[in-house]
Structure 1
Amino acid sequence: MKQITLRAIEPEDLDLLYRIENDVELWNVGNTNVPYSRYLLHDYVANCKNDIYTDRQVRMMVENQAGEVVGVADLVNFDPANCRAEVGLIVLNSYRQQGYGTAMLQALADYAQRILHLHQLYAYVDCENKASLCLFEKAGYKVCAKIGDWLFDGAKYRDSVLIQYVFQKKCD
């Protein structure tokens, strides 16, 4: 498996975040469908506490062994009462199909279980996004619900699945 590091967002990441957040091709796979200004992203980087309990989310940059940013990993919609969070990941185009997505999901799972003590992670995945479905299923996520007409791409509604990873309790 690829060796990666999750790290906090730095001001130097602003240009990359700007490109990612304003990439129209990514809007259909996430919950964002509007452009973000540099000012808004700068404000986010400057003011987020990087504390999931305060912000109810944490966004981390993902680096490979050479120190190159290969993607972004998010835990959002953090629900401390029910010990769960929604997963979001972006693997940059030039690093796709190289094992980084699998490594990112594993690193997020380790962080969520060992540091945050979460019970589960979940994601909503477009039924037509076969690469993402395969990635999550390979990482042990299970499809638990199909949701009709969940995503709108500007022209038509598409079905989505709720995919979930529940951490197994360890026996002593």
Structure 2
Amino acid sequence: MATLIGENINLRALEPEDLDFLFSTENNQDFWKVSGTQLPYSKYILKKYIKNSHQDIYEAKQYRFVICTKIDTPIGIIDLFDFNPQHKRVGVGILLLPKYQRKGLGSEALKAIIDYAFTYLDVHQIFANVTTNNLNSISLFEKFKFQKSGIRKDWVYSDNTFKDEILYQLIKNTNEP
């Protein structure tokens, strides 16, 4: 599926070999403020998650892709969530390990997932939720013409303070084929 291949990255399904990567990512407390996680995950739970990750997005309403380099080194995760085929929308969230940020790899991954969602899932819109202090994500989503649709005031509590959250939407141009 060429849609999930970029110039420098690939998006692929979770594999059993991703257990250690997923364990370190999910249990990194620096990422918890953007993921909504508050407790660590055990390897046992993550093994079960990987085992069940084959579920179709129409059944699970979500799907996690691993962002990999061309030599299959995992460098991040991009999730589709709250998939609603009736209303033709899906949410997207992206996480890149810090040493891979600001190198264009997140842009490649987001472009691939946008193409995938519009082409294969036939959604009308993709949305993202970004705190107002997450300047890297704001820059990334705005680069791809996601529009600010609203702000949820004091929506996320982290680092002993409330943060506003921006709702971004990318609505498919119905004038394109």
TM-score range for the pair, normalised by the shorter chain length: over 0.9
Within the candidate set 155, 169, 172, 1:167 is matched to 172
Aligned: 1:76 with 2:87: no
Residues 171/17 of structure 1: CA separation in 2 closer, same or farther (3 Å cut): closer
Q: Which residue identity does 1:66 align to in structure 2?
A: I
1:1-40 alignment runs, 5 A limit: 2-40=7-45
Identical-residue share of aligned pairs (%): 35
Q: TM-score, normalised by structure 1?
A: 0.94
Runs of 4+ in 1 over 4 A off after TM superposition: none
Question: For the residues of structure 2 that align with 1:170 and 1:65, how far apart are their CA atoms?
Answer: 34
| Displacement of 1:154 | 5.2
Residues 30/100 of structure 1: CA separation in 2 closer, same or farther (3 Å cut): same
Residue in 2 aligned with 1:46? 51
After superposition, the CA RMSD in angstroms is 1.5
Residue in 2 aligned with 1:151? 156
Within the candidate set 92, 98, 110, 1:93 is matched to 98
Q: Please give the per-residue CA displacement for 1:44-85, whole angstroms capped at 9, x wherever unaligned.
A: 111233310011100011122232222111001111111111
Q: TM-score, normalised by structure 2?
A: 0.91
Within the candidate set 144, 147, 156, 1:139 is matched to 144
Secondary structure of the residue aligned to 1:113 is helix
Question: For the residues of structure 2 that align with 1:50 and 1:139, how far apart are their CA atoms?
Answer: 29
- For the 8 Å contact 2:14–2:53, the answer to whether it is kept is no
Residue in 2 aligned with 1:107? 112
Secondary structure of the residue aligned to 1:82 is coil
Q: Which residue identity does 1:32 align to in structure 2?
A: T
Q: Please give the per-residue CA displacement for 1:12-64, whole angstroms capped at 9, x wherever unaligned.
A: 00110011111101111122222111111111111233310011100011122
Unmatched segments (≥5 aa) in structure 1: none
Aligned: 1:66 with 2:71: yes
Question: For the residues of structure 1 that align with 2:11 and 2:170, how far apart are their CA atoms?
Answer: 20
Q: Which residue identity does 1:136 align to in structure 2?
A: F
Q: Which residue identity does 1:106 align to in structure 2?
A: K
Secondary structure of the residue aligned to 1:109 is helix
